[in-house]
Every structure is written in C-alpha cells, then in structure tokens.
Amino acid sequence: MTLISIKEICEKLSVAGRLKYRPLCVYGADEAPEGAVKSSTVDRCIARAMFMMASTEGVPAFYVAGDDEACCMGGRSWMGFIEPHPLLKYFVTVGHKDFRGGAAERLKASPELFEKSRQALGRITPPDRYIVVSPCSYIKDDPGVLSILVFGYGEQVRNLAGLAQFDEYEQFSVVVTPGGPSCATYITYPAGLAEKAPKNTVFLGPTDPTGNVWFPPELMAMGIPIRKARQMAESLEESFIVKRAKVAYPERKV
C-alpha cells in the first residue's frame, strides 16, 4: 500500500478541521533549505514565529540553529541545542537576584519541581544540525517530516482530537495537554526530541501563559507526530467528520 504524501496528509487535516491557518511541518536538516531563513529573523520566540508563519502567507520556511544567539535561549535549550541556563529554574519559578533582576514567571511552584519536570522528559536531542519549520504546502518530496502543527478554534480542535481517537482504544493517552513552553508543545514533544515523550500522542496546548500576549485567546494548537497525522488522514473518510458531518459541524442559527 502506497503511503499518502505529506501534502495529502496536511490537506486532509485541513479539511477535517476546516482550518483557517496553514498547517506546518517540522523536520531536521543538515543544511539550511534553499529559501529558508533563520527563525530569529521572523521572531525571537520560536513559537511566535511559527504562529506568524501559519497565519501570514508572506512568512517563509525557517530553521532553528543552535548558534543563533538572536533566538530565544530558552527555546534553543528546549530544542536540545544548548543546555538550560543554570539560573533558569529560578526565573520560571520564584526568581533569583542574579538573573533578569529577580524576575519570576511563577510557572512552577519551586526550582526543585522545575528540575524534576525537566528530568522527566529525558534527554532532549535535536534531529539534525537544524530544525526546519515549513508550511506543509511547500513540501514536495518528504524531507523526513517528524510532526505537523495545526491551529484551530474550539470546535475544530475538538473534532481533530476526536479523529485522533478514532482508531485507538486508549482513553487517556492519545491526546494530552503537557506542561512546558509553547515551543515544546509545537516541536519538542510531537517531533520526538524529548526522550520520554509518548511517541504516537497528540499534544494540545499551549499551557504556557507567557505566550498569551501574542496568541489569540480563542485558538489552540495541536502538535501531531507524523505517524499519528498519517493515521488521522487515512481514517478521515470513515470517521464521524465525513460520515456525520452535520454532527461534527452543525449548522447553527444565530
């Protein structure tokens, strides 16, 4: 049986979710792809740059590089390119006088808890010299896509989550809402960079409130490992989304 292409997978997910935003592909590369730019030229924040790509036609494919100091240090550590700053555990919890003037994000209760949460991920390893993010529509021959990221409104995301469950018997592990920064939900977990992240699970989020300043309140994101994305695409025609379209997307009268 011939596997459906990356382009077909993304088209089917777009149809299934009636998506308004461009689906994105994530993959590793030893060389920067032709026409791609450094992620920091789009935005310092990897996650925000991805949302800008999904929502704006003019944003080109980009790559994350470990030596790009204009890119967020935290983001590069969550991609596995560099080690976290030794005082980061204080910044995201209670603050430290020697780091960013004592600023504290209060994302975890204590530095010790943050360290344990990082250890629970196992080693974070980049897939190659660069991590490339591209609109799925740009992909012709599969460069080794690791995951797909989609953005949607509540009903769209709920239906895609239901589609992810269609061929599964597990009730609690197929779609999860993990902790960590937005870029981890977008790349680290679904692309398999984190050693102990589940391998065929959809990651829903983000739960990181520091992105709320730029991420629309009505949207959510889904990071989907490529194996699961292919399974969802292949299941679409037999699922409730097609067979019971008016249940999935009911006509509402104002």
Residue 140: pLDDT over 90:
no
| pLDDT band (50, 70, 90) for residue 22 | very high
Spell out the residues 6+ positions from residue 71 whose beta carbon is closer than 8 angstroms to its own: 38, 39, 40, 44, 46, 64, 65
The mean pLDDT value for 69-83 works out to: 97
- Provide the mean pLDDT of the chain: 96
* Distance in angstroms (rounded) separating the CA atoms of residues 96 and 88: 9
The mean pLDDT value for 49-77 works out to: 97
Residue 148: pLDDT over 60:
yes
Q: What is the pLDDT of residue 1?
A: 55
In three-state secondary structure terms, 174 is coil
* Distance in angstroms (rounded) separating the CA atoms of residues 131 and 80: 10
What tokens were used for 190?
């679904």
In three-state secondary structure terms, 234 is helix
The mean pLDDT value for 199-227 works out to: 98
Q: Identify the H or E element spanning 202.
A: strand 202-205
In DSSP terms, 134 is beta-bridged to 25
Residue 58 to residues 53, 68, 134, Cα–Cα distance (Å): 8, 22, 12
What tokens were used for 53?
């790509």
In DSSP terms, 219 is beta-bridged to 153
What tokens were used for 9?
């997978």
Nearest to 202 by CA among 152, 136, 238, 148: 148
Q: What is the pLDDT of residue 132?
A: 99
Q: Is the distance from CB of 249 to CB of 158 less than 8 angstroms?
A: no
The answer to whether the predicted template modeling score (pTM) of the entire model surpasses 0.85 is yes
Task: Quote the Cα angle for 129-14-204, to 5°.
Answer: 65
